[in-house]
Amino acid sequence: MVELHAPQLDTVFHALGDATRRSMLRELSDGERTVSQLAEPFSISLAAASKHIKALEHAGLIRREVRGRTHICRLDPGPLAAAQEWLNFYERFWNSRLDVLDRILREEDQSKPAHGNTGESR
């Protein structure tokens, strides 16, 4: 079980809270990319892309390696697994609550008299 402490989890969710960073992570799931390659689909400057990458690095979601003058980024999925475990707890929580609600509604429906011709006049 991968476990992150609250501040680390906050940093991961902060990083995931931006659509550009989520898109960058999706790109990196297909393999390593340069900073330029990550910036390209967004028409943003390398400086802006670097800020997004630093947020992802700070959260531990990516690793950057410098090869000569080129910065290569790769996905580090460990913190995503920890975030997923945290989300799974709440998925189980809500599923159990919804199961109870479903059971109550079904019992309520079964206890109602059937509508239709019962032979009684009004």
pLDDT digits (tens, 9 = 90+) for 83-106: 888 888 888 888 888 888 888 899
Q: How many CB atoms lie within 10 A of CB 24?
A: 28
Into how many domains does the chain fold?
1
User: Is the residue at 119 inside a domain?
Assistant: no
User: Is the residue at 4 inside a domain?
Assistant: yes
Q: What is the CATH number of the domain that holds 94?
A: 1.10.10.10
The DSSP bridge partners found for residue 72 are 34, 65
User: Is the residue at 90 inside a domain?
Assistant: yes
User: Is the residue at 118 inside a domain?
Assistant: no
- The residue written with tokens 């991961």 in the block is 12
pLDDT digits (tens, 9 = 90+) for 25-47: 999 999 999 999 999 999 889 99
Domain that holds residue 34: 1-109
Token code pair at residue 59: 């959260």
User: Is the residue at 36 inside a domain?
Assistant: yes
Measured CA to CA, the distance from residue 46 to residue 35 in angstroms comes to 7
User: Is the residue at 22 inside a domain?
Assistant: yes
